[in-house]
Amino acid sequence: MNFPFGISPLPVISVRKEPSHQSEMFTQLLFGETFSILSQTDEWIKITASYDDYEGFIEQKQIKLLSESEYLNLKHDQWGTVKSPIAMLLKNDSQNGTIIPAGSMLPANGKINFDDYSYTYTPQIISFPNTNQEENIWRDDIVQTAIKFINAPYLWGGKTCLGLDCSGFTQTVFKVCGIQLKRDASQQCLQGKDVGFIDEAQTGDLVFFGNPDESITHVGIYMGEGFIIHASGSVRIDNIDHYGIFDAKKQIYTHQLRTIKSFF
């Protein structure tokens, strides 16, 4: 049987730039995220992630392969996103389980099956996009979700509360809140609608940073009242103005403001 797709059955899978354990991890697949297969060897698979079209290499022994019909059947089911920084799945209706991170994908029916085992969970751990809610509620939800990640350590390529980079942080927070972002800050800044000045920014807008002669190198979430939450060393809250991010403890600007985007 041909298996052109796959799904992550593990809490986190490293996606590497090259097919080697020595190659850098530049993103991750979370539990329940799917992908299409571009090429494969006995050990490594080159994939395109279904959620953000990111390409990279993963270990073949870490994933579950899917036929085209299995993949299409999954797409027909209603799936939601894990909304708390971590959640518990119970294996085979026992007290043994596994912990998965925010941004993981699960079916709405409270059960997910793999070849020789299944997981059960309470559907309350899943969030579903509510496109009918008022904009101010949606914006506040983004900030309240982001705050749950405070002190999560910085990790290049990471997307979970155990380690994430600046754009992995924004992508996961927005995913939980029902807004789809690309993976990198330089890609995310091409989405949304332009906001002219920081004084015009609203809670939940994305703010991008970098030197004028370089590409976008950093992103954070505007909290309102001159504050931003972002992943730099760890997920933290700093001051922001029209120059950029100001570290009050060091009394210096750490990131130069480039552009602001609204997704509402």
pLDDT of residue 3: 86
pTM comes to 0.95
pLDDT of residue 93: 65
180-202 mean pLDDT: 97
User: Which string of DSSP letters, residue by residue, matches 87-155?
Assistant: EEEEETTSS-EEEEETT-EEETTSEEE-SS-EEE--GGGEE---TTS-HHHHHHHHHHHHHTTTTPBB-
Q: Are residues 18 and 104 in the same domain?
A: no
For 106, the domain range is 77-127
Q: Are residues 156 and 247 in the same domain?
A: yes
Q: Are residues 54 and 102 in the same domain?
A: no
Residue 181: how many other CB atoms lie within 10 Å: 23
Q: Are residues 15 and 105 in the same domain?
A: no
Q: Are residues 165 and 219 in the same domain?
A: yes
The answer to whether residue 129 scores a pLDDT higher than 70 is yes
Stated as kind and residue range, the H or E segment containing 65 is strand 64-66
Residue 136 CA: distances (Å) to CA of 171, 191, 194, 201, 260: 20, 20, 18, 13, 18
pLDDT of residue 21: 94
Of 127, 156, 188, the one marking the end of a domain is 127
Which CATH number fits the domain that encloses residue 147?
3.90.1720.10
Q: Are residues 25 and 105 in the same domain?
A: no
Q: Are residues 185 and 255 in the same domain?
A: yes
> 130-150: per-residue pLDDT in tens?
777 889 999 999 999 999 999
224-243 mean pLDDT: 97
68-84 mean pLDDT: 89
116-129 mean pLDDT: 87
- The pair phi, psi for residue 166, each rounded to 5°, is -60, -45
Distance, CA of 117 to CA of 24 (rounded, Å): 32
Average pLDDT over the chain, rounded to an integer: 94
> 41-53: per-residue pLDDT in tens?
889 999 999 999 9
Contact 104, 11 (CB under 8 A): yes
The answer to whether residue 209 scores a pLDDT higher than 80 is yes
The first and second tokens of residue 226, run together, are 């001159």
- The pair phi, psi for residue 71, each rounded to 5°, is -65, -45
The first and second tokens of residue 13, run together, are 């899978």
Contact 17, 26 (CB under 8 A): yes
Q: Are residues 142 and 192 in the same domain?
A: yes
Q: Are residues 229 and 119 in the same domain?
A: no
Q: Are residues 67 and 83 in the same domain?
A: no
Which CATH number fits the domain that encloses residue 28?
2.30.30.40
Q: Are residues 118 and 185 in the same domain?
A: no
The percent of residues in the chain predicted with pLDDT above 70, rounded, is 99
If one counts the domains in the chain, the total is 3
The answer to whether residue 17 scores a pLDDT higher than 90 is yes
Q: Are residues 140 and 243 in the same domain?
A: yes
